[in-house]
Amino acid sequence: MIRFFAAPIAAIALLSAIAGGALAEEFDSRDIMGGGPNFFRSSANPVPRTTVMYNGNYAPGTIVVNTSERRLYLVLQNGQALRYGIGVGRDGFRWGGVHKITAKKEWPDWTPPSQMLARRPDLPRHMKGGVDNPLGARAMYLGSTLYRIHGSNEPETIGQAVSSGCFRMTNDDVSDLYGRVGVGTTVVVLNN
């Protein structure tokens, strides 16, 4: 009886190994701002949003980005915060400071900055907002910088350091945050 089940199990294991190898060879679009659409993988968030105790000296409503933790905190009342997983800038692209959200956009268009085009001349000069756009479902623009808190269609990159300085979230998380904050919200970026 064991032999009867052993052959099918071995065949399934072999097919799984072959399929896994095929996935490793597919195109990786993370070079585009460290992200881009990938609709063939799971959309599950690798870092679930959760409410946590938060000991910081920030007013409720403040966003605190901790680049070393790869987490974004929205400070709440009573010593609590909503904690989100984020993707951060890769080596040489991380930064710190205090800014305000100066604009919010749903399904934003993307125009790569000249610095990015110098590094990646193959990128499009402009991309309309939508599911194929690497900025995802929502974007919150940070002061006069080139940086944003934005969505991503590659949730597997959350918790990674692969962007060109922006902070990326899953589309679900960025939509949640977008609905909770307004233009003028203070954003503190800790880069330690």
Active site residues: 150, 166
Contact at 8 Å (CB) between 133 and 32? no
CB 170 within 8 A of CB 156: no
151: three-class secondary structure by DSSP: strand
Torsions phi, psi of 115, nearest 5? -60, -40
What distance in Å separates the CA atoms of residue 143 and residue 11, rounded to the nearest whole number? 56
Tell me the C-alpha distance between 189 and 176, whole Å.
20
Number of neighbouring beta carbons within 10 Å of residue 171: 19
